[in-house]
Amino acid sequence: MTQDELKLEVAKAAIEYVVPDTIIGVGTGSTANFFIDELAKIKGTIKGTVASSEATAERLKGHGIPVFDLNSVDEMSVYIDGADEADPGLCLVKGGGGALTREKIVLAVADKFVCIADDSKKVDVLGKFPLPIEVIPMARSYVAREVVKRFGGEPVLRDGFTTDNGNVILDVHGLEIVDPVSMENELNSIVGVVTNGLFAARNADVFLCGTKDGVETIT
Ligand code: 5RP
């Protein structure tokens, strides 16, 4: 099976987690896009969605799926999104698509987090995928120096990229993240950091992992 076929399989499996008559949160990226296309087929069963990026909002609206501003929503049954890496404790690295901040905000409102990804995203220890950090532009050099001082690694400015929030991304290469919760919290304490791509303090509740033998449900 190709990687796209695995992504489609997990997107289909995620439909089982869509709670009728509720608002659901929708992530960003190629796997989330497969999910959006599947969601379109059952759009009449939900109240609507909250999008984690402009790109996702556009795709949802293109299918005629209602998209709500998060400020008008106080309950969300489930958040469904992809990941760049997932460890055995379902802690994730996200933000390869640069949408990490809005993803974390939408997730904060959701009752449940269902992560969908093909099995290439499964790792024993997070960090092979460069860890994205969204940073206020004027703080980028300071934040990069602090990251190296505290954790090592090599922060690289994502070239020519601006987030939906008008900020920049530092991708930190060469980390071995053995304690993702403490690293997530400490990174957030650096002035100028908006969000980092560790989803560990709030990790996934369910990981639908696409394998050549079918979709594995990991909880
Ligand atoms: C975007 C993300 C994505 O979920 C992550 O990059 C995975 O993307 P894809 O499904 O295309 O592999 O965090 O900010």
Residue 139 Cα distances to 95, 152, 197, 219, angstroms:
19, 18, 17, 38
Tokens of 13: 């499996």
Q: From first to last of the 219 residues of the chain, give the pLDDT tens digit.
A: 899 999 999 999 999 999 999 999 999 999 999 999 999 999 999 999 999 999 999 999 999 999 999 999 999 999 999 999 999 999 999 999 999 999 999 999 999 999 999 999 999 999 999 999 999 999 999 999 999 999 999 999 999 999 999 999 999 999 999 999 999 999 999 999 999 999 999 999 999 999 999 999 999
What pLDDT score was predicted for residue 46? 98
Give the Cα separation of 178 and 161 in Å (integer): 29
Give the Cα separation of 25 and 115 in Å (integer): 12
ipTM comes to 0.98
CB 32 within 8 A of CB 82: yes
| Cα dihedral across residues 116, 166, 195, 131: positive or negative | positive
Cβ of 60: how many Cβ atoms within 10 Å? 21
What pLDDT score was predicted for residue 25? 98
Known catalytic residue at 103: yes
Pocket of ligand 1 (CB under 6 A): 27-31, 81-84, 94-100, 103
Distance 96 CA to ligand 1 centre (A): 5
pLDDT by residue (tens digit) across 130-161? 999 999 999 999 999 999 999 999 999 999 99
> What residues contact 184, with CB distance under 8 A and at least 6 apart?
196, 198, 199, 200, 201
Pocket test for ligand 1, best of 31, 115, 118, 169 (most atoms within 8 A of CB): 31
What pLDDT score was predicted for residue 17? 98
Mean pLDDT of the chain: 97
| pTM for the whole structure | 0.95
